[in-house]
Structure 1
Amino acid sequence: MKILIVCGAGASSTFVAHRMRRTATERGLDLQISAGSESELPAGLAGLDVLLIGPHLAGLYDDLRDEAASIGVAVVLLPSTIFAARDGVEALGLALDAAGARP
């Protein structure tokens, strides 16, 4: 499964991606989790299974969700608490739920 987390410039999403990768590894899940910025969208949707959108990009959510749905990509708007989380449990859970792949 391929997951992309986006935020404004890509810095905050990098921390979330790192925590998610660590959590996925601890659970024995083989996932491709990367971080990016809003400037990569919508072109960066191709090949994804799940797009996680930072809460400060809520204004783009509806358009991105519609575009992603047209190519089979699930989209989740992350809660504002996600960037302060100490681990990747919540973000990973949201991604797996969106993809219908929670073990």
Structure 2
Amino acid sequence: MRILLVCNAGMSTSMLVSRMQKAAEQRGMNIEIMAVPIMQAETILKEWDIVMLGPQVRHQLQYLQNKAEGQVPVCIIEMRDYGMMNGDKVLDAALKVIG
């Protein structure tokens, strides 16, 4: 499974990436998680299983959904979970969307 996190510069989500990876490892899951800035995301998003936007770029949701052309789910990370850098909950949200 591959999870792409998107933020303004790709930096604010790096801590969340490591916390999500730790949560996945604790569950025995092999998941690739990467954080990128919005401009990079639009060119690679179809290569991922899910694209999750940080709350600071939620206004780009429709734009990235259009770029995904229905091939990849694009959603917004819950603001509370993002603010608390709750890797477990963000991972759960991704798994729920992917099914």
Q: With structure 2 as the length reference, what TM-score do the two structures score?
A: 0.90
Is 1:89 matched up with 2:88?
yes
Residues paired across the two proteins, number: 99
Name the aligned partner's letter for residue 39 of structure 1. Answer: M
Is 1:67 matched up with 2:67?
yes
Map of 1:98 onto structure 2? 97
Q: 1:64 is paired with a residue of what secondary structure?
A: helix
Map of 1:5 onto structure 2? 5
Gaps (5+ residues) in structure 2? none
Gaps (5+ residues) in structure 1? none
| Identity in percent | 28
The structure 1 segments of at least 4 consecutive aligned residues displaced by more than 4 Å after TM superposition are none
> How many angstroms apart in 1 are the aligned matches of 2:70 and 2:32?
18
Greater Cα offset, 22-31 or 33-42: 33-42
- Please identify which structure carries the higher helix content: 2
Offset of 1:67 from its aligned partner? 2.3
Question: Residue deviations 1:18-72, cap 9 Å, x none?
Answer: 100000000001111111111213102131001010111111101212322x252
Q: With structure 1 as the length reference, what TM-score do the two structures score?
A: 0.87
Q: 2:48 is paired with a residue of what secondary structure?
A: coil
Question: Residue deviations 1:56-103, cap 9 Å, x none?
Answer: 1111101212322x2521111012223332541110011111111xxx
